[in-house]
Amino acid sequence: MNSGRNLTGWASSVTLMDDIRPFRVDIPQEQLDDLRDRLARTRWPDEPPGSGWSYGVSPGRVRELAEYWRTGYDWRAQEARLNGFPQFTTTIDGQNVHFLHVRSPEPDALPLIVTHGWPGSVAEFLEIIEPLTDPRSHGGDPADAFHVVAPSLPGYAFSGPTTEAGWGVERIARAWAELMRRLGYERYGAQGGDWGGKISPEVGRADPEHVAGVHVNAFSVAPSGDAADLEGLTEAEQARLALLRRWHTERMGYASIQATRPQTLAYALADSPVGQLAWNLEWFDDYGENVGAVNADAILTNVSLYWLTGTAGSAARLYREGASAWGREVEFSKVPLGVAVFRGDSTIRRFAERNHTVVHWSEFDEGGHFAAMQAPDTLVADVRTFFRRLRP
């Protein structure tokens, strides 16, 4: 069974579709020179003696990465790596959407749309695209192959900036369904973490007739407020609930600002690369606790995509657009859901089952919030396992 609409190859299919434009990353050298100049002239703040991470991101860590960004990091190498994958743009609901589209050599591969979050980008997926699309070449079963579509969220990097208000989770989900229709995919899966963990289930709600299943990581669902929700939790679940409470009391400052005053924040992030680095770094370094290390090049590639495209403020607006839906009960979804819980996640199954048909649940002692970068092999294996039962 062909997973698309008589697609014999991506190149030939482009001519059959309206408004699909090939894209290639090509940052002008003057922007890179300006970045290095700004880094060299950073005006550094003071710090409380011996504060470490207790007042915010560690100054020593920011200085270390900023110096590497200025003197050692090779954007051109990362740019070439991104350009190693076919990329395109299209206009959906008036918004430019950038996406990677990597077709599998296996003709019966299942299409899969993967969605990143904040402060990430499509660069999160560079380690998992090839194993997903070509398992035969990566020690896997060719029957587990996917055609991968990886869009940049509206407002983020090459999909930015957004040009009007209203680009929240549900609207993005509808846009993703339209993107998959436009690519000719009649049946497909969705996967994502962070914002992708909120958007991917909404794709299932928006397009249930065509979505085979949804797999998520870094998936957060709050308790309902009913005391019965908290009875009989396992020790591991109680620890995750404590993590969720800690996030609300100690770590949600960035979300509150981006959900209320994103434009005020945007002036600083648009003008200071070190400010951009520090603002994004807390999640990549897990607030100094190093749950799962993300290497310096991967961190700086994600940060550079925000800086070089000038989309930090536009990306932050997603929090403003999505704030009204935080904690809101949603329609129960009959689309099969698979959940991968990595180290540091606060996901609790009974909370997820309130609004989803959970048919797959995995827990791992590795990885972290950015599983595609921190534990790519484990994430790929779990995605394969989940979708194996849902293939034709």
Which residues form the catalytic set?
A: 194, 319, 369
Residue 107 tokens, joined: 């003709």
Q: Counting beta carbons within 10 angstroms of the beta carbon of residue 371, is it exposed (0 to 12), middle (13 to 18) or buried (19 or more)?
A: buried
Query: Residue 252 and residue 329: Cα distance in Å, rounded?
Result: 21
Owner of token pair 């309902």? 224
| Torsion angles phi and psi, residue 45, rounded to 5 | -80, 165
Residue 345 tokens, joined: 């996640």
Q: Is the dihedral of CA 193, 194, 200, 201 positive or negative?
A: positive
**Would you say 39 and 274 are in contact if contact means Cβ atoms under 8 Å apart?**
yes
Closest among 174, 116, 37, 53 to 298, alpha carbons compared: 116
Phi-psi domain of 151 (left: phi exceeds 0; alpha: psi -120 through 50; beta: other): beta
How far CA 361 is from CA of 217, 348, 385, in Å, comes to 10, 10, 11
Under DSSP, the state recorded for 65 is H
Owner of token pair 């003696």? 49
- One-letter amino acid of 363: E
Query: Residue 126 and residue 82: Cα distance in Å, rounded?
Result: 8
Query: Residue 135 and residue 149: Cα distance in Å, rounded?
Result: 16
What order of strands is seen across the sheet that includes strand 20-23? 20-23, 87-92, 95-102, 146-151, 110-115, 188-193, 211-217, 333-341, 356-363
